[in-house]
Structure 1
Amino acid sequence: MIETLSLNIARAAMTAQSALAEAALSRADRPAALSADPLNVGPAMTSVMTSLASRPERLFQAQADLFGRYMTLWTDTARRAAGEDVPVTAAPDKRFKDPAWAENPMFDVMRQSYLVTADWMNTLISSADDVDPRTRRRAEFFTKLLTDAFSPSNFLASNPAALKALAETSGESLVKGMQNFAADLERGGGKLAISQADYGKFRVGENVATSPGQVVWRDELFELIQYDAATDKQRAIPLLIFPPWINKFYILDLQPANSMIRWLSEQGFTVFVCSWVNPDADKAAFGFDDYLEKGIYRATSRVMEQCGTDRLNTVGYCIGGTLMGAAMAHMAAKGDERINACTFFAAQHDFEEAGDLLLFTDDHWLAEIEGMMDEAGGVLPGSAMADTFNALRANDLIWSFFVSNYLMGKDPPSFDLLFWNADQTRMPKALHMAYLRKMYGQNALARGDFEIGGVRVDLSKVRTPIYAQASREDHIAPMNSVYRSTKLFGGPVTYTLAGSGHIAGVVNHPAAVKYQHWTNPDLPDTLAEWQAGAEQHPGSWWPHWAAWLHERSGDWVDARDPKKGALKPIEPAPGAYVKVKS
């Protein structure tokens, strides 16, 4: 057994060394990073450290606090070694859920000392209260990234679960882990692209994105999909969904059991989806005006033509909702009343408190992004956006898979949502830079300084009824940011708060009986006031929304057949654009 273990460790080492050598060769002729500090962390840390150094009493108190925590840890460890029943002093953490972390004294001390030190470091950085808030938040964010990276769970020698797997498999777990590591390096073209799912288990149009329907329109910017009716009667006013162009639309149609699109069809709505093209260099100059005129206006016109109506209801998800809000303000300025009612999923229009993504929108990082897009021919590679989103939840989306895939040698899970998460799209330079600068950088839409389609738009002129959904744990469109956005519109707004985050908070089929949601018919000045008067309900918010939507969707009419409308079917759903890989 010892001989087998030794041979397997040697095999694992050789596999890793070979993979790293091939990765180095594959990237040898590529340009170096535009900046040694692309996210401008250095100046932020300098500001924070200068602030802390100017107040030595705070540093002294912090050091005394750390020493006190260690003394408590050492004392408890000594008492536990002597046989006393001493409760755990550090908070539980799912990185350390294996019983060996608590049962083995050595790993218990390692775990607790790490948690104490990490918490101390993060708290110290946060205490620099005389620093610009955004600068401090950048320092906090990257200190958290650093402390997360140095968790003992991320290293083979200090992870008892990984060591146990190594011993039980005579090293086969490590061999498999290094094979996974080599495969991910190869898939990333020399850059480590950690697998989050078993990508071979899913095929778009075969076992994800399977709701039946037809592509009834296709042009250079989008495909318009109309889904088959699931009822004999449908509401007269159709529903058109604009997903974010950052991701592919089938997050709303993963599997029959969790498909929002299928569920909406079963409620009697005529459902359309705008499936955005995965842009290449020829779309580099496309900006907000293009996505307004060639996207929103054209797609809504085609839906009305297909259904023979003079109005429709719309949904805007995330950045698709930002565009939809600006479009409705543009329509209000023109007296265009085609939008009967609009729903926003996790969409922001006021970016003053837009969460951690604000950290990526200072001038230094924007110059880095622009240079990256220039090198890619005028588009932002899909992997760049994936890296950003993964960094926002590093423990969940990076380190958990690092440990499982490489240290434990496990296969990535067969999880449809994570498959979708990795199926990223590119973004045109003009559009993306305008979005980052105008929305995140200048908050122009909320301030009335945003121009689109030749009009400086004013959201307060929008009188259309709006349903705004937010999620309590959303780190991309924080619930307060969405709430602030609702206060910008001039018409009636219904705000609903869901449990969970940016994706699971939205995609929560009622049959799953998961999470909860809160409702309050009033819209007071602040989210805190809204929450104080809100009523909690178990399960999904979809039925509440559907009831709101039914009231604004007209009479019942005979179900519509996508093959018999004014627009001729081109190919079955989910179409061709969604299958284009980045």
Structure 2
Amino acid sequence: MTTSEGQAPEMTDEHIERIKENMEKVEQLSKRLIEVMATKKPHTPALDGPNQELFARAATAYWAEAWQNPAKLLEQQIEYWGKSVLNFAEAQQALTGAEVEEHAELPRDKRFSNPLWETNPYFRLVRQQYQTNAEAIAHAVASVEDLDAKDRQRLKYFSQQIVDMMSPTNFLATNPDALEKAVETEGQSLIQGLENLVSDLEANDGELVVKLADESAFQIGGNIATTPGDVVYRNRMMELIQYKPATETVHETPIVLFPPWINKFYILDLKAQNSLIKWVTEQGYTLFVVSWVNPDESYADTGMEDYIQDGFLTAIDEVKKICKVKQVNAVGYCIAGTTLSLTLSLLKQRGDKSVKSATFFTALTDFSDQGEFTPFLQNDFIDGIEEEVNKEGLLRSWIMARTFSFLRSRDLIYGPAIRSYMMGETPPAFDLLYWNGDGANLPAKMAVQYLRGLCQRNEFATDGFELMGHTLKVSEVDVPLMAITCQTDHIAAWKDCYSGVQKMGSRSKTFVVSESGHIAGIVNPPSKKKYGHYTNADLKGDADTWLKDATFNEGSWWPMWEAWLKKRSGKQVPAREPGDSSHPSLGPAPGTYVVVKASA
């Protein structure tokens, strides 16, 4: 609450008294906070930050450079001192009412949108000094030499995380939005914020996982994941859902879609308007979707081979039986696309032609460039994960969620935390954010196989990934394929996906780059007319050349994919109802596995 001039409102005695009363309520909530923190389940400390050797190497390199070139260090320090003194002098001038000399505008940053960051001398000084400090840290990190490329990338990333964490907006005393809200509500916003904080801690056994969406607004199978279908098969790894036909006839060759098991499949069926699952049935296809189990500690020894044998191969076999066909068209999203590639290599070596074509959604098969995950894929973190999973039997969902969130920490951690804990706001009723918070655990064995063999050693794209008595290689993926990637994807960078597709042995390859990111670029219905896509049949050059010579196409890639799929889907046959006499309905879609929550 501000006046028209952006000044803080006047306070009455009655107003202050009510604030004091509310502060006493805060004290009671604080006791509850202490109780929940006392019962916090411990985890491996190595998961909380990089090995200190990284900072030691950086410090050694920095001081060695300073010793050899002291003028450079002095220049940086003098510049920092000068800016700091100027910030203070400007604040002093403003406090005395003197007119402050105009300087360059402060950089645009949505964290500092409140007018008080400009008009109030105190807040302006806090912001200016924070940005001066941030610039000084960035310059210091950039000046460090004698570090290898990975250490330099990690140092830059973790130093930026420290800078973002220390933003004045993250602290009540230096956040004008939160302070105004507290005064306006007589402290009630702080009480509600603390209640939100305690509730989030209690929901996650003392781990701070910021709730991004109002969970009470959604029901799986109620107002999300509502496309009609039936579970027609179930084993310890997955439920196989067959969706009801939406046309009188369908293509003979069915589609079996494998979503990632790091998340829930209903990202592809959030609501009717953007459901890829619903859209596929409306184009005249028999669609099966795998819903993975959300593993607990009893799955500790479950590996990639189990996902392939009891997931991919079993699903393909059951679909063939139900539809009475010899081949299916397979789709794999993210890690399931990676595993589909492993499965295709295995089938190639076995002489099994069950898969007629493969579609990959944002799927990495070549991990030579670890991209934005480089900070987390070095031995200090992976050693910590291995220690954690050996102790717990699984990689708990919140650990993965935290890692992904820190890649976009301002939007997925600090911003939501400020709104929830300092402003006392209820999280929004946003289906995508609800899905984002509904994660899944990973079995211990599978997590280590994936992180060590694929991510770190890049075995599948090089000498081969040993699994199920076979040496699997990406070059053995030889079915007709289409790869859909996303231009701003920070999880599976499109250039890295491109490199993997280049190494595949298929004679028929179609590569597509959709606008937007890992989710929005895939969940991109034609009716929205939102994101376009790039195509280029020439995959011989590097990724930059491919994009430079690519054709931009307006609108979603979905129709283009369907036209490609139609050529590989056979004749029209009468529409198939879910299941058969050997596969009775085990319950309606979306099934039972999808509603199981991850372990905290």
Q: Is the pair's TM-score, using the shorter chain for normalization, greater than 0.5?
A: yes
What's 2:468 paired with? 453
Q: 1:3 aligns with which of 13, 17, 22?
A: 17
CA drift of 1:243 comes to: 0.9
Match of 2:428, SS? coil
CA drift of 1:355 comes to: 2.2
Contact 2:256 2:329 in 1 (8 A): yes
Give the distance between the partners of 2:360 and 2:75, measured in 1 at CA. 47
Cα gap change, 1:292/1:536 in structure 2, threshold over 3 Å: closer, same or farther? same
CA drift of 1:151 comes to: 0.6
What's 1:21 paired with? 34
Query: What letter matches 2:291 in structure 1?
Result: S
Deviations 1:70-102 (A, max 9, x none): 578679889998668947533322222334333
Q: 1:347 aligns with which of 339, 363, 369?
A: 363
Match of 1:324, SS? helix
Pair 1:46-2:56 in alignment: yes
What's 1:63 paired with? 77
CA drift of 1:129 comes to: 4.3
Structural RMSD (CA): 2.4
Match of 1:546, SS? helix
What's 1:208 paired with? 224
Match of 2:386, SS? helix
Match of 1:544, SS? helix
Give the distance between the partners of 1:76 and 1:233, measured in 2 at CA. 75
CA drift of 1:478 comes to: 1.4
Contact 1:44 1:136 in 2 (8 A): no
Contact 2:303 2:443 in 1 (8 A): yes
Contact 1:326 1:452 in 2 (8 A): no
Contact 1:156 1:163 in 2 (8 A): yes
Deviations 1:180-207 (A, max 9, x none): 1121121122222321111121111111
1:23-172 paired onto structure 2 within 5 Å: 23-27=36-40, 32-35=42-45, 39-56=49-66, 57=69, 58-67=72-81, 86=102, 89-172=105-188
Paired positions, count: 577
Pair 1:424-2:434 in alignment: no
Cα gap change, 1:512/1:114 in structure 2, threshold over 3 Å: closer, same or farther? farther
What's 2:301 paired with? 285
Contact 2:362 2:492 in 1 (8 A): yes
Match of 1:223, SS? strand
What's 2:426 paired with? 411
Give the distance between the partners of 1:334 and 1:37, measured in 2 at CA. 40
Q: Which runs of 5+ in 1 are unaligned?
A: none
CA drift of 1:298 comes to: 0.9
Identity %: 37
Q: 1:537 aligns with which of 545, 553, 568?
A: 553
Query: What letter matches 2:397 in structure 1?
Result: G
Pair 1:481-2:493 in alignment: no
What's 2:576 paired with? 560
Give the distance between the partners of 2:511 and 2:567, measured in 1 at CA. 16
Match of 2:483, SS? strand
Higher mean displacement: 475-484 or 322-331: 475-484
Contact 2:494 2:513 in 1 (8 A): yes
Contact 1:76 1:86 in 2 (8 A): no
Pair 1:490-2:505 in alignment: yes
Match of 2:219, SS? coil
Query: What letter matches 1:435 in structure 2?
Result: Y
TM-score (norm 2): 0.90
Contact 1:508 1:514 in 2 (8 A): yes
Higher mean displacement: 194-203 or 366-375: 366-375
Contact 1:448 1:459 in 2 (8 A): no
Give the distance between the partners of 1:61 and 1:231, measured in 2 at CA. 72
Contact 1:79 1:86 in 2 (8 A): no
Pair 1:383-2:393 in alignment: no
Contact 1:307 1:565 in 2 (8 A): no
Deviations 1:427-472 (A, max 9, x none): 1111111000001110111103212221112222322122112222
Give the distance between the partners of 2:121 and 2:156, measured in 1 at CA. 31
What's 2:275 paired with? 259
TM-score (norm 1): 0.93
Contact 1:496 1:519 in 2 (8 A): yes
Give the distance between the partners of 1:459 and 1:118, measured in 2 at CA. 43
Cα gap change, 1:273/1:151 in structure 2, threshold over 3 Å: closer, same or farther? same
Match of 1:572, SS? coil
CA drift of 1:547 comes to: 2.4
Deviations 1:510-556 (A, max 9, x none): 22333332222221321111111123334433223222222322233
1:540-551 paired onto structure 2 within 5 Å: 540-551=556-567
Give the distance between the partners of 2:500 and 2:491, measured in 1 at CA. 14
Cα gap change, 1:433/1:156 in structure 2, threshold over 3 Å: closer, same or farther? same
